[in-house]
Amino acid sequence: MKYLRCLFIIPFITLTVNNSSAQSGKAEGEVVVMNKADFLAKVYNYETHQNEWVYEGDKPCIVDFYADWCGPCKRIAPVMKELAAQYKGDVVFYKVNVDNERELASVFGISSIPTILFVPVKGKPQASQGALPKETLVRQIESFLLEKE
C-alpha cells in the first residue's frame, strides 16, 4: 500500500512544482518561445516607444528569430539551450518563430534566419545573422551582454 501511495504522490509533487514555476513566469535556464505580446512586455514595446529603444527586462537577453523548417535554426537550437542553462540567472534566452510572428520579423527587418538579437540591459541591441558557433555566441555574451572584458 505504501508503494502505491508513493507512486501517486511523487508524480503529483513533481507536477505541482513544475506548474508553480511555470506559472510564476520564471523560465531561467530555458529558451522561451515568445509571441508579440510577450515580446512587447519583456523585451521592447515598439508600439509605445517608437523613436527610442527601451529594454523592458532586468537581465540581458538573447532573442533567436527562427523558423521550424530552417536547417541552420535547427542546428543552433540545442546550442541555445545549452547556453541558457550555462548562463541561467545572468541572461534570458528567447526565440521568436518568424512564420508565426510576421510583424515582429518585419519590425526588426529579419530577412535571414536565424538572426540572433543580443540585448543588453543598457544600450542598443546588436544583431547577428546565421548559425553562429558556440564559441562566438559565448564571446558575444561575455563581452557585450555581461561586459566581462
Show which residues are catalytic: 70, 73
CA distance 32 to 53: 22
Return the ∠ at Cα 56 (arms to 109 and 82), rounded to 5°.
Answer: 75
Give yes or no for a cis peptide into 120 (omega within 30° of 0): no
Query: In residues, how long is the chain?
Result: 149
The three-state secondary structure class of 85 is: helix
Question: Beta-carbon neighbour count of residue 5 at 10 Å?
Answer: 9
Q: Is the dihedral of CA 52, 55, 61, 67 positive or negative?
A: negative
